[in-house]
Amino acid sequence: MQAKSLTPAARAILDSASRLFYEQGINSVGVDTISADAGVTKKTLYDRFGSKAALVVAYLAERDTDYRDWVAGMLAAVERSTSDGVGDAKVLAVFDALQSWMDEHSPLGCAFVHAHSELVGTADHPAHEVIRNGKLWIKDLFADLTREAGHADSDSLSVQLLTLIEGATVLRSISEFPEALPEARRAAAVLLRAE
């Protein structure tokens, strides 16, 4: 189901589920709680989404789309702000985008990190594909941006940058290290200069 074409009831269900899953956890929130919060019947929830697993997928897929749009906006702003070539500025802007995204939309940490930890015992849960694809998208984005900036080994560099940003994301998500992403950005700048 495309989030953009949701019926009003489905939109209310997804909004409630997204907030509740993020704030309380996927495993601790049942469909009764979601349907009550959304002001719909449990039957309506199942009619619109089919299962709780499908609702989890819709929640994560919408967050992924929103995050990608957020990053694209940050990259476009970097391009508009410089008349010369942007070089590594766009690579580093990915770190800035994640920092601002987490400040504004993920104060409790990364929804994907939390979802993965909750669903790790359910290897066949369809949400794992959304999580995996989101992380691969960041790696591919880094590969494209480093190639565009003229780095020779963009594939290897993209994995190194992904390791930095994901490590910082996890550190910020599960601990009291709000400076994890700015520190990872500084490490990325050093890495890019050395390449």
Res 146: pLDDT: 97
Q: Is the same domain home to 25 and 74?
A: no
Res 35: pLDDT: 98
Position 183, amino acid: E
Q: Is the same domain home to 43 and 66?
A: no
Q: Is the same domain home to 41 and 81?
A: no
Domain that holds residue 46: 1-50
Res 82: pLDDT: 74
Q: Is the same domain home to 85 and 25?
A: no
CB contact at 8 A, 49 and 15: no
Q: Is the same domain home to 44 and 60?
A: no
Position 85, amino acid: G
Q: Is the same domain home to 126 and 178?
A: yes
pTM: 0.92
Coil vs helix vs strand at 27? coil
For every residue of 131-165, DSSP letters joined together read HHHHHHHHHHHHHHHHHHTT-TTHHHHHHHHHHHH
pLDDT in tens, 168-183: 999 988 877 889 999 9
pLDDT less than 50: residues of the chain = 1-2
Q: Could you give the angle at the alpha carbon of 165 between the alpha carbons of 129 and 94, nearest 5°?
A: 95
Q: What is the CATH number of the domain that holds 45?
A: 1.10.10.60
Res 84: pLDDT: 62
Q: Report the number of distinct structural domains present in the chain.
A: 2
Coil vs helix vs strand at 7? coil
Q: Is the same domain home to 129 and 181?
A: yes
pLDDT in tens, 58-91: 999 999 999 999 999 999 999 888 766 678 999 9
Res 3: pLDDT: 55
Q: Is the same domain home to 7 and 75?
A: no
Phi-psi sector, 34: left (phi>0), alpha (psi -120 to 50), beta: alpha
Q: Is the same domain home to 87 and 123?
A: yes
User: How far, in Å, CA of 49 to CA of 28, rounded?
Assistant: 19
